[in-house]
Amino acid sequence: MPEFDLIARLRARIAARADVPLGIGDDAALLQPPPGEQLAITADTLNAGVHFPHETRAEDLGWKTLAVNLSDLAAMGAQPRWCTLSLSLPHDDAAWVDAFADGFFALADAHDIALVGGDTTRGPLACAVTAIGSLPPGAALRRDGARVGDDVWVTGAPGEAAAALSLWQAGQLDVTCAAADPLHELWRGRLLRPQPRVQAGLRLRGLAHACVDISDGLLADLGHLCERSGVGAQLALAALPAMPRSTGISALQCIGWQLGGGDDYELCFTAAVQHRDAVVQAMDFAGVAVTRIGQIVATPGVVVHDADGNPWQPPQRGYQHFVG
């Protein structure tokens, strides 16, 4: 399929918008931000065999390609506005492109984000998105605002995407079709179709002192937040969200997935102790579960304590690129 035919297939799905004076079809797009707002810009690349299994269905890949970027905007408290999409495709396949677009635009439409440009090339399968959001000056959720004494919170159910990935790697889960075990199917959905916590991020404006998305693992990304803020954190194993287990899966495995698995795209944030009720109410309005898991302290580093108060060392602390 020629490049311009591919572009035409994507362009046919895009409606005209007042905030996109000039979209796909020129050398660059022209965008109209809301008056007085700042722009938040993020970019991510997903490579086959590194960030997703080669056999991942095109529709699921389309969804996830956009979701990982929307998660970054959510962590900043930004309202998603526009995005670009670049694809490296190993061969021409109109049906694959249409299925990818189905997943991509399903999520884009849900968050009212417009595709305004991109690029295509032939090569190993890879997908790259640049997403742009907006927010009022001074409203951004950043990594560098955590304060000693803050509560540490996490949204959703960390570890479920990592559980699915582990089952797939063990040959116990097929990512291309529904799993017979309802719990495994839930985990498969978390891996392939993560739900970016956009509404949670918007509700946390003016409430959270610091925020980060935990795509590389709860401990790793909380560690980044603490480093940027010049603080540390103490977490309690007993405070982690309850994670259901299926036969053959140990509690230790679940804890490892929760703390170091990654690929969750949940938000970890800090807020003042006196705002506990406000945090719960805000997340309730956002339709997102939230759990208080620890506290910010002055001593650098992230320490996890077991039920007896002893430091606990997880089997892994998170995903790192370029580490063999």
Annotated binding site for substrate: 51, 263, 319
Residue ranges of the annotated binding site for Mg(2+) are 27, 42, 44, 72, 119, 213, 216
C-alpha pair distances (Å), 306 with each of 220, 240, 252, 275, 312: 18, 11, 12, 26, 6
**Angle, helix 94-110 to helix 3-11, in steps of 10 degrees:** 30
C-alpha pair distances (Å), 81 with each of 14, 65, 154: 14, 16, 25
Q: Pick left, alpha or beta for residue 233 (phi over 0 → left; psi -120 to 50 → alpha; otherwise beta).
A: beta
Instruction: Tell me the sheet residues that pair with 269.
Output: 153, 211
- Rg from Cα positions in the chain: 20
C-alpha pair distances (Å), 101 with each of 69, 87, 115: 16, 11, 11
DSSP, res 78: P
Residue ranges of the annotated binding site are 27, 42, 44, 51, 72, 118-119, 143, 213, 215-216, 263, 319
Question: What is the rounded CA–CA span in Å between residue 116 and residue 239?
Answer: 43
Question: What is the rounded CA–CA span in Å between residue 23 and residue 29?
Answer: 5
* Chain-centroid distance, C-alpha 91: 28
